[in-house]
Amino acid sequence: MSLLVVGTLALDTIETPFGKEEYTLGGSATFISTAASYLTSDIRLVGIVGYDFPQKELDYFKSRRIDTSGVEILKDTKTFHWHGVYSTDMNHRDTITTDLNALAKFDPKISDKFAKTEYICVGNIDPVIQQKIISQIEKPKLIMIDTMNFWIEGNPTELFKTIKHADILVVNDSEARLLTGDHNLISSAKKIMDMGPKILIIKKGEHGAMLLTKDNVFIVPAFPLEKVFDPTGAGDSFAGGFMGWIDKTKDLSFENLKLAVVFGSVMASLSVEKFSLEGLRNLENETIMKRFKEFKAITNFKEISL
């Protein structure tokens, strides 16, 4: 088992109705690799940070058996910093500042060892960089790519090139509509799969997630939580849970892809229950399986006949 995770490593300032945390651990690669580390092993992390990135967080990754040899540390600049404020209903967030810092220089050379990885998860970054990363992988078996509205609107030409290489694309519902100009999610999904990805995941926030292939659909709700403390990283935790399960099982049958979506949803739901990475930082298998069983309970119903 081995999974290559490429994305951002950040120090975030986050304000939600429940509090404020400054320069707390964030970034897509942080959530993806940590979530995946509970399901699979030999996770290979590629990212870039500045001189202010805490050594203890690199040590944390190592404690989760995440290989940090692909993390470049720049001595002359700070770490990528995002400051966001969530609305009272948590459904919107405003960006106060985005200090790219080290991220502006992100153009990773994938090591020989890492280039042999077969399962690849590329978080939401510039699609040009996403392409450069993919081109360095020797024989990828499965590439998952995440993106966002910023790139759909800002650089659709390069994004469409990237999407062609994706076996699995992850977008949220508004991004799916933006990509295709089609309001209906199902016909949108078909159009996106015509662009390249055989597997599409549409995240719907508090409404859950949909998994689509040419012939199948699976829909799982978000876990009903009375308090969502911090939605930051929910989508990346989902991607990490999904790819962790896929890398562990190496089974791309639709039945197993469904389980990957459930594990993605499990990790996302655990992540948002606490600030920053705290919801994922120190989990027991028992906690993960308890939540998995709760997902089963809230979605399962009997077969009957009329």
Rounded to whole angstroms, the Cα distance separating 6 from 236 reads 11
304 binds its own copies (CB under 8 A): yes
Rounded to whole angstroms, the Cα distance separating 290 from 93 reads 30
Number of chain positions touching its own copies (CB under 8 A): 45
Residue for token pair 């190592």:
62
93 binds its own copies (CB under 8 A): no
- Give the rounded distance of the alpha carbon of 75 from its chain centre: 28
Residue for token pair 């994922």:
280
Residue for token pair 């027991």:
284
206 binds its own copies (CB under 8 A): yes
Which range, of 69-77, 124-132, 159-167, 178-186, touches its own copies by CB under 8 A? 178-186
Closer to its own copies by Cβ: residue 155 or 256: 256
Closer to its own copies by Cβ: residue 169 or 220: 220
Q: Which amino acid is residue 1, in one-letter code?
A: M
Provide the total of helices (H) and of strands (E) in the chain, helices listed first: 12, 13
Residue for token pair 């659909």:
217
- Give the rounded distance of the alpha carbon of 67 from its chain centre: 18
The candidate with the shortest Cα–Cα distance to 105, out of 125, 119, 89, 86, is 125
215 binds its own copies (CB under 8 A): no
- For the CB of residue 267, give the shortest distance to its own copies in the complex, in Å: 12
**Residues 30-59 interacting with its own copies (rule: CB under 8 A):** 39
Q: Which of 95, 135, 157, 285 lies at the binding interface for its own copies (CB under 8 A)? A: 285
Closer to its own copies by Cβ: residue 78 or 191: 191
Q: Which of 98, 149, 282, 299 lies at the binding interface for its own copies (CB under 8 A)? A: 299
199 binds its own copies (CB under 8 A): no
Rounded to whole angstroms, the Cα distance separating 3 from 121 reads 7
Q: Which residues bind its own copies (CB under 8 A)?
A: 39, 88-90, 183-187, 190, 204, 206-208, 210, 217-221, 224-228, 255, 258-259, 261-262, 285, 288-289, 292-293, 296, 298-306
